[in-house]
Amino acid sequence: MNTLSFARRRTHCAPRARVTRPGASLFATFILLAASCVHAAQRHNSPNLGPNVFVVTPDMPAQAVQQRIYAIYAAQEHNQFGSRRDAILFLPGTYKVDVPVGYYTQALGLGPSPNDVQIVGNVHADASLPHNNATCTFWRGVEGFSVTPTGGTMQWAVSQAVPFRRMHVRGNLVLHQNHGWASGGWISDSLIDGNVDSGSQQQWISRNTEWKSWTGSNWNMVFVGVNHPPLGTWPKPPYTTIDRTPIVREKPYLQVDRKGSWSVRVPELRKDSIGITWSKGQTPGHSIPLSSFYIAHADRDTAATLNANLAAGKHLLLTPGIYKLSEPLRITHPDTIVLGIGFATLVPTQGTPAMTTADVDGIDIAGVLFDAGPVASPVLLQVGPARSAANHTQNPIVLHDVFFRVGGAAVGKTRVNLEINCNDTIVDHTWIWRADHGNGVGWNLNTSDYGLVVDGDGVTAYGLFVEHHQMFQVLWNGDHGRTYFYQSEIPYDPPDQQSYTSAKGVNGWASYKVAGRVTSHEAWGLGIYSVFLKPNVSLSRAIEAPHTPGVRFHHIITVALGNLGEISNVINDKGGPTSIHPRVTPQVTEYP
């Protein structure tokens, strides 16, 4: 059932038949009448979010809700490179429902606190490949509700680009499916009442999260600002623990109050934090009414309409869909919020950037997938123009769940995926991926030189996943940068060593490059892998960095996943080579 048409049929607060059933107490009648009024108000005030947003209310028939959720999953279960996008939004209340989460699907609770939306049943991400293999379980997410899982355990078998935020699991959580392969993921601002079992996950980052206990490890598990992190430290077990999160602002989120008013909550900036933001109810911050947002629809909006609203001072809510852009979206006003739901996707079609920002305070870009177009772009997202110089320490630009893709759905080309010129920018979870499978994939087809280029000073990254680009995956030119967790596969497909040489006598391009002029940089918990498909191709070193006391790396591992080639050193000339027979996974605990 279309939520908006349903709302138009119920615009007053008439009590439902069950309210006046024989024997009901006056108090119970009042409570049910009030609840009916709230739900009617919520439906009446629901904005037009388009056909691919399913807004669920507690008084909808449970069977109809379940059928709609299953229909969404049937369309998205195997839709790895399809064009459909979906969001399922739950208004405050309790739901007994099974929610499988497929590709390009986001399930969101709309309460001010995650405990305002309670799902009793299964909410789960399942392995998308045979044999319980979750290494391609990408592009899906859950945010802002509580789950009481059937059987006591919630299954979340995922890999990259899967946000898990502001969740309350009233039980245990497993990050795999029957111990099948899984390849790294993200949890933040969440509470798990029981145990979290990472199982076969290769790497994982948990930021500002609380649980009863954690079990499992593989190559590197990173905990930042976590209450009760597991005991032990790298390399046995391979745990990297940072006691406090130095600076972060949580992701903005949609919410609906008791009067049915919709708004976007913008959390406050936190420094040196531990644990979740919502332990006392609503996350501290401020709310922006949805009337201050331009609600975009991919089937009718263009770059011109979106830019006109941005120039007029509107925030931007991108509803699910693919937005084909003939020019970049330009974010020029301070404190502008660009919030995508349902993996809203931006595709530049004319060889331009997809989005640029000015060098101003407080911009927040969240929940957007940037997909390279067929004509090569110089950059997909440029944060600030070249030589940006403003100080943003008190109100930084933040990027939450911004994902990048070159190829896979179709031929895509770019030189740089994400370029950060503004000082003090915070990156809070990103996957920057040149496709290794799908459509339009080949060394000369889906071309991409760099994943991330950082020219600004004081940039902080949490959860940095960057893979398969043809030169440096990360090139960090700014000073005072920090990275908490790094996962990277270097490109599979260099055709020969000559095509994959960065300097005389240097095989390949380091995955993580800190420029020689940098005097201060620090990174924790890094894993870098090779899967070369051609013989006689190797990489001289996984990380290149100046040898200076101010440039420090902690807890690095390299792994050869295929049976060809090697990574000859971990960082500069330290660590030694990977090997297959026997398998050797070099580790460097501290550098220098």
Which pLDDT band holds residue 454 (cuts at 50, 70, 90)?
A: very high
Instruction: Give me the percent of the chain exceeding a pLDDT of 90.
Output: 91
Residue 18 lies in a domain: no
Specify whether 183 is located in the same domain as 326. Answer: no
**Structure confidence by residue, pLDDT tens digits, 70-112:** 999 999 999 999 999 999 999 999 999 999 999 999 999 999 9
Specify whether 227 is located in the same domain as 300. Answer: no
Is the predicted pLDDT of residue 28 greater than 50, yes or no?
Answer: no
Which pLDDT band holds residue 582 (cuts at 50, 70, 90)?
A: confident
Specify whether 198 is located in the same domain as 330. Answer: no
Question: Which pLDDT score, from 0 to 100, does residue 43 have?
Answer: 52
Question: Which pLDDT score, from 0 to 100, does residue 46 have?
Answer: 85
Averaged over 124-141, what is the pLDDT?
A: 97
Residue 280 lies in a domain: no
**Structure confidence by residue, pLDDT tens digits, 397-407:** 999 999 999 99
Averaged over 336-360, what is the pLDDT?
A: 98
Q: Tell me which of 194, 223, 249 is where a domain ends.
A: 249
Is the predicted pLDDT of residue 347 greater than 80, yes or no?
Answer: yes
Specify whether 519 is located in the same domain as 572. Answer: yes
CB contact at 8 A, 489 and 526: no
Residue 283 lies in a domain: no
Active-site positions read 489
CA–CA distances in Å: residue 148 to residues 57, 124, 190, 278, 471: 18, 12, 14, 18, 46
Query: Which amino acid is residue 434, in one-letter code?
Result: R
Q: Say which residue the tokens 């998205």 belong to.
A: 76
User: Which residues are CB-contacts of 174 (< 8 A; sequence separation ≥ 6)?
Assistant: 153, 154, 155, 156, 157, 196, 197, 199
Query: Which amino acid is residue 215, in one-letter code?
Result: T
List the CATH number of the domain containing 296.
Answer: 2.160.20.10
Specify whether 385 is located in the same domain as 238. Answer: no
Enter the tokens of residue 337: 């919020």
Long-range contact pairs involving 161-165 (C-beta distance under 8 Å, separation at least 24)? 161/369, 161/401, 161/403, 161/431, 161/433, 161/465, 162/125, 162/137, 162/138, 162/186, 163/188, 163/251, 163/367, 163/401, 163/429, 164/188, 164/190, 165/141, 165/189, 165/190, 165/250, 165/251, 165/401
Question: Which pLDDT score, from 0 to 100, does residue 583 have?
Answer: 81
Specify whether 244 is located in the same domain as 293. Answer: no
Q: Tell me which of 234, 249, 264 is where a domain ends.
A: 249
Question: Which pLDDT score, from 0 to 100, does residue 177 have?
Answer: 98
Query: Given strand 203-207, what is the order of strands in its sheet?
Result: 53-56, 86-90, 105-109, 140-143, 164-165, 186-188, 203-207, 220-224, 239-242
Specify whether 522 is located in the same domain as 415. Answer: yes
Residue 278 lies in a domain: no
**Nearest partner of 588 among 574, 577, 578, 567, judged by Cα:** 574
Specify whether 363 is located in the same domain as 429. Answer: yes
Question: Which pLDDT score, from 0 to 100, does residue 581 have?
Answer: 80
Is the predicted pLDDT of residue 32 greater than 60, yes or no?
Answer: no
Residue 265 lies in a domain: no
Specify whether 401 is located in the same domain as 536. Answer: yes
Residue 255 lies in a domain: no
Q: Tell me which of 222, 249, 276 is where a domain ends.
A: 249
Specify whether 221 is located in the same domain as 337. Answer: no
> What residues are paired with 133 via a beta bridge?
129
Residue 487 lies in a domain: yes
Residue 257 lies in a domain: no
Determine the structural domain holding residue 479 and report its residue range: 288-591
Averaged over 444-463, what is the pLDDT?
A: 98
What's the first-to-final CA gap in the chain, in angstroms?
Answer: 61
Averaged over 155-182, what is the pLDDT?
A: 98
Instruction: Give me the percent of the chain exceeding a pLDDT of 70.
Output: 93
Averaged over 182-210, what is the pLDDT?
A: 97
**Nearest partner of 333 among 313, 309, 356, 318, judged by Cα:** 313
Distance CA 288, CA 338 (A): 12
Q: How many domains does the chain have?
A: 2
- Do the strands 293-296 and 329-331 form a parallel or antiparallel pair, or are they unpaired? unpaired
**Structure confidence by residue, pLDDT tens digits, 45-75:** 789 999 999 999 999 999 999 999 999 999 9
Question: Which pLDDT score, from 0 to 100, does residue 45 have?
Answer: 74
Is the predicted pLDDT of residue 414 greater than 50, yes or no?
Answer: yes
CA–CA distances in Å: residue 71 to residues 14, 63, 66, 225, 519: 31, 12, 9, 38, 54
Specify whether 328 is located in the same domain as 242. Answer: no
**Structure confidence by residue, pLDDT tens digits, 460-472:** 999 999 999 999 9
Average pLDDT value for the chain: 93
Specify whether 205 is located in the same domain as 334. Answer: no
Query: Which amino acid is residue 190, in one-letter code?
Result: S
Is the predicted pLDDT of residue 211 greater than 60, yes or no?
Answer: yes
